[in-house]
Amino acid sequence: MLKILTIVGARPQFIKAAALSHAIAEHFSDAVHEDILHTGQHYDDAMSEQFFTELDIPRPAFNLNVGSGPHGAQTARMLAGTEEVLTNGHYDGVVVYGDTNSTLAGALAAAKLHIPVYHIEAGLRSFNRDMPEEINRVVTDHISTLLFAPTHTAVANLEHEGFDNESIIFSGDIMLDNVLHYANKNIDNGDQIILATVHRDFNTDSPERLTKILSALDAIGKQYSLPVIFPVHPRTKKAIEHIGGLGRYIHIQPVQPLSYLDTQTMLHRSQIVLTDSGGLQKEAFFCGKPCVILRPETEWTEIVDAGAAITADANPNQIISACKALWNKSITAPIQFGDGHAALKILEAILQKQHCV
Ligand code: UD1
């Protein structure tokens, strides 16, 4: 029996981990034992607990409860806590997801203890080292044993950086597993909306950028006579309070962070999505919705290349004209992201690497 520790801590990781846990339960319950370690990076119910309940994710065996703090201090607390769990736990491998501080801490703790690291969503690059996520993903890739790339662009990025070909595996995108798994579940038809989210530090921590984005969202809601549904991340909530609230943006309807299935419902009701989130960009594409990316660049270049998204940064004119260009645009199927069986491929490759098959 292969014993793995899955490290999660932030909202998008719970969603990705659900797909892997479901695949273990359905296909590999005799071969793989998984424990989940929650770092506690995200701790509000709406950012954490509701995903475990709704997506039926096994309860974490460990919770480090690190909470928030400066990057160094937050990552250090995770590193120490994970090291302790790994030292006592006799794990054969550690699974980490994406690019958060929890990813970096988990990978680093394991690598130092010579425990194989399996990085899901490897090889993504924004080529913007001002982003904490870019530092996290580059470092994590370089200390990982197997690199599970969601796209061929990610594979090419890793090849370009000189990784051994045997360590790179094109798995397809694990978020597509979920979208297909939950398709048709609880997705009702409601009135049309515009869906918008903002949470990247470079957008929330700059009052000027945040104000420009909010003004553009409000203008778009007015122009198309549709409500802009705006699930507010805790970081963004604090930033909005700091600039005097949302009172003057009457077309923006703020709501609590949504559950996974409510997000899928909102996506289906959307005419268009405006976001700086990587995950939501993809989910919009997966369900055939155009997307305006509120960043200067994206790691998911396939979506832009497919004509389904435009990077518009925090520039109101660019955001408004991107919306116009994409309005009513029909979007082709997301073949670039694999076949929706990423979790199975990942588990097979891990078992093979560990000579369990
Ligand atoms: C983190 C990830 C980012 C990911 C995002 C998903 C890093 C560097 N960034 O960003 O890649 O896209 O999660 O949401 O790891 N907060 C709460 N309640 C919570 C969680 C956070 O109030 O449940 C507050 C924190 O106190 C902090 C702020 O939100 O002030 C930011 O949280 P943090 O975990 O540092 O990063 P995110 O912006 O969520």
State which of 233, 259, 260, 277 you would mutate to test the pocket of ligand 1, scoring each by most atoms of that ligand within 8 A of its C-beta: 233
Q: Which ligand 1 atom is the nearest neighbour of the CA of 46?
A: 23
Query: For residue 20, which of 357, 352, 350, 295 has the smallest C-alpha distance?
Result: 350
Query: What's residue 332's pLDDT?
Result: 86
Residue 326's pLDDT is: 98
List of the chain residues with pLDDT < 70 = 184, 186-188, 357
For residue 174, the CA-to-ligand 1 centroid distance in Å is 21
Of ligand 1's listed atoms, the one at least distance from the Cα of 199 is: 38
Give the residue, out of 68, 139, 295, with the most ligand 1 atoms within 8 A of its beta carbon, to mutate for a pocket test.
68
Q: Is 66 in the pocket of ligand 1 (CB under 6 A)?
A: no
Q: If you measure from the C-alpha of residue 237 to the centroid of ligand 1, how many angstroms do you get, rounded to a whole number? A: 12
212 lines ligand 1 (CB under 6 A): no
Look at residue 296 in the predicted model and tell me its pLDDT.
97
pLDDT, tens digit (0-9, with 9 covering 90-100), for 23-46: 999 999 999 999 999 999 999 999
Cβ 237 under 6 angstroms from ligand 1: no
181 is catalytic: no
For residue 5, list its beta bridge partners.
35, 94
- Residue identifier of the C-alpha nearest atom 19 of ligand 1: 42
Query: Which structure tokens are listed for 106?
Result: 């988990």
Among 267, 167, 263, 274, which Cα is nearest to 223's?
274
What is the model's pLDDT at position 153? 97
CB-neighbour burial class of residue 215 (10 A; exposed 0-12, middle 13-18, buried 19+): middle
Model confidence pTM above 0.75: yes
135 lines ligand 1 (CB under 6 A): no
CB 29 within 8 A of CB 62: no
The token pair that represents 260 in the structure block: 């996974």
Report yes or no: 200 and 233 within 8 Å, Cβ to Cβ: no
The span from the CA of 190 to the CA of 281, in Å, is: 21
Q: What is the pLDDT of residue 6?
A: 98
pLDDT of the residue at 187: 66
Check: CB of residue 228 under 8 Å from CB of residue 196.
yes
Q: What is the pLDDT of residue 270?
A: 97
Give the pLDDT score at 190. 84
Alpha-carbon span 181 to 189, nearest angstrom: 19
Q: Please tell me the residue having the least CA distance from ligand 1 atom 34.
A: 41
Q: What's 333's DSSP letter?
A: -
Q: How far apart are CA 197 and CA 256, in angstroms?
A: 11
Which SS3 state, helix, strand or coil, does residue 266 take? helix
**Helices in the chain by DSSP H: which ranges?**
11-27, 49-54, 71-89, 101-112, 132-142, 152-160, 174-181, 201-204, 207-224, 234-242, 260-269, 278-286, 301-305, 316-326, 342-353
Mean pLDDT of the chain: 96
